[in-house]
Structure 1
Amino acid sequence: MDPLLITVAPTGAETSKADCPALPTTLEELVETAASCEQAGAAMVHVHIRDADHQPTLDAGRLKETVAALRESTDLVVQLSTGGSVHDPLEKRLTVLDAAPDACSLTMGTTNFGDDVFLNPWPFVTELYRQTQDRGVVPEFELFDLGHVAALHRLLDRFGPPAGGRVHVDLVMGVPGGMPGTADALVAAVAALPASVTSWSATGIGRSTLAVALASLAKGGHLRVGMEDVLTLAKGVPVEHNRQLVERVVEIGRLAQREPMTGAQARELLGVSR
């Protein structure tokens, strides 16, 4: 069976440190988390950063410092979020690429995000995509909705393949306002993907985490887990470390005869040159 790409998303931009003290928000906590999750079976880390007050930030200096520290301490593919917080301005989100990550997220359209709106208008999407091509940063196309799948067809048809020549997408499922975290929704989304997609993963938000993970494995996909997406292992059982979430899907993956990828294997899969 094909090896399993496990991405860990350890922090996100929505949960506060006060509400979840175990959330890794300092650089030291993030590096420790990344190294521990790599040992457990993760091959890529999806990174949001926080400032000295544990608030979401896109500070250029902190982003560069974070990329350097993760590369020094791990062999993970370092993927920076270009989504930031739902409150970050579009022009600021474009500057994330200045930190020269291996990869970045690229959300394919606007979506309702709980009570907020996650803005990704078409001109922003195309500008971000062209910059990834120019800078050699591998995009992971984030699809929250079937409309985003259609937008991906449009983008690839108009602007051609991404840096590295591979097309990797992540189905983000279970966000209030996006597609539900169900097997039926996953099957529909996968069936609609462009033929040029070379690999895909799925992320189940909140209580949809396990249902999405199992459906993704059944369809031959990869997985993203982490405290950005879920804060409990079961009802009333809080996550104490992102490693627990990685270890759980490693175990599930092995039941499906899928061994976790290494960082080197993930680079080959995604077309990352470093």
Structure 2
Amino acid sequence: MKKIMLSVAPVSASDTDINPRKIADDVIECWKLGASMVHLHVRDVHGKLTPDMTLMDETIRYIREACDIVVEISTGGVSDLTIKERVQPCYAPYTEAVSLNVGSVNLGKAVYQNPIDDVEYCVGELIREDKRPEIEVFELGMINTVHELDEKFHFVDPILFALVFGHGGEMPATENALRHMKEYLYETFPDEGKVLWGYTEANRKDLKMVGKALDMGAVSLRLGFEDSNYLENGVQCTTNAELIKAAAELLREKDMEPMTSDEVRQMLKIKAL
């Protein structure tokens, strides 16, 4: 039976009340329902991105009291932080993976800036600290950039891609767009076992494309309030656990099942806790 990594991104970018205990409780419930990775950004109490890891330290401490979910901390997000501030999660002992962004893109009315010098600095630091990147790509050209980065820095194989769709200004969340991304990914990285890919959809209103991504070979799905709080038929949910439960049920309908956290660590060659 094929196993899929369910990643939960629990905190909305519009959240202005960051409560470590509340976030941890939500994540723990998601883990119980099948989530094997948590994706978090470093935020202050008002939700603003910050290099100060204080609230993140507290959040992870609460999470670790109850579960072994793989901890991924983002090095990105639209902000005015410098790259040295953005890479602070690489140095935290509890960080196992980091999301890596390799190019600039319009996200709605914002410009998400990732100049190549900053990208290379981030890659150098995450490799030095032995953190696994989940590489978020929003456009086809970013896949080529990852190929160039791999030739220079030599990522640990397999390289995990998060193919991102649905933001205003980038690839739309359509089957054709996903097919183009997938085909170009394997054209650029033809060696078997070199890459894995997952699906992330911003502004999602249902699970239609999530199911299509599974049918097309995704090995991971990211769901959570950071991207959307919608279930099927435009129904909004109040907890991230509802999203993970729905995703786990979708997997079982397709004769798949969620990976455990240790299976994710094995897949990505992350040291066991």
Indicate whether the TM-score tops 0.5: yes
Q: Is the 8 A contact 1:4 1:223 kept in 2?
A: yes
Q: Partner amino acid for 1:190? A: K
Name the counterpart of 1:22: none
1:175 and 1:209 map into 2 onto residues whose CA distance is 15
Answering whether residue 70 of structure 2 is matched by residue 77 of structure 1, we say yes
Name the counterpart of 1:147: 141
> Which of 195, 199, 221 is the matching residue for 1:198?
195
Using the TM superposition, give the Cα deviation of residue 234 of structure 1 relative to its aligned residue in structure 2, in angstroms: 4.7
Answering whether residue 162 of structure 2 is matched by residue 186 of structure 1, we say no
Q: Is the 8 A contact 2:78 2:113 kept in 1?
A: no
1:209 and 1:86 map into 2 onto residues whose CA distance is 29
Which TM-score applies when normalising by structure 2? 0.90
1:65 and 1:123 map into 2 onto residues whose CA distance is 32
Answering whether residue 108 of structure 2 is matched by residue 111 of structure 1, we say no
Q: Partner amino acid for 2:7? A: T
Give the direction of change, closer, same or farther, for the CA distance of 1:236–1:183 in structure 2 (3 Å limit).
closer
Name the counterpart of 1:229: 227
Aligned length: 265
Matches within 5 A, 1:125-136: 125-136=119-130
Q: Partner amino acid for 2:82? A: P
Name the counterpart of 2:10: 10
Q: Is the 8 A contact 2:14 2:47 kept in 1?
A: no
Using the TM superposition, give the Cα deviation of residue 62 of structure 1 relative to its aligned residue in structure 2, in angstroms: 2.7
Q: Is the 8 A contact 1:225 1:246 kept in 2?
A: yes
Name the counterpart of 1:88: 81
Q: Secondary structure at the match of 2:256?
A: coil
Q: Deviations over 1:33-56 (max 9, x none)?
A: 110000111000001243233444
Q: Is the 8 A contact 2:205 2:233 kept in 1?
A: no
> Which of 41, 54, 58 is the matching residue for 2:51?
58
Give the direction of change, closer, same or farther, for the CA distance of 1:235–1:212 in structure 2 (3 Å limit).
closer
Q: Deviations over 1:180-229 (max 9, x none)?
A: 11111111111112235432110111136523311211112121100100
Q: Secondary structure at the match of 1:171?
A: strand
Q: Is the 8 A contact 2:78 2:111 kept in 1?
A: no
Q: Deviations over 1:122-146 (max 9, x none)?
A: 1111111111111111110111111
Q: Secondary structure at the match of 1:4?
A: strand
Using the TM superposition, give the Cα deviation of residue 235 of structure 1 relative to its aligned residue in structure 2, in angstroms: 5.8
Q: Secondary structure at the match of 1:179?
A: coil
Using the TM superposition, give the Cα deviation of residue 149 of structure 1 relative to its aligned residue in structure 2, in angstroms: 1.0
Q: Is the 8 A contact 2:166 2:173 kept in 1?
A: yes
Q: Deviations over 1:42-88 (max 9, x none)?
A: 00000124323344433133333333333332111000011144343
Q: Is the 8 A contact 1:182 1:211 kept in 2?
A: no
Q: Deviations over 1:229-254 (max 9, x none)?
A: 00222566322000111111111111
> Which of 216, 219, 235 is the matching residue for 1:219?
216
Unaligned runs of 5+ in 2: none
Name the counterpart of 2:61: 68
1:36 and 1:171 map into 2 onto residues whose CA distance is 26
Q: Partner amino acid for 1:80? A: I
Q: Is the 8 A contact 2:5 2:35 kept in 1?
A: yes
Unaligned runs of 5+ in 1: 19-24
Answering whether residue 261 of structure 2 is matched by residue 269 of structure 1, we say no
Q: Secondary structure at the match of 1:105?
A: strand
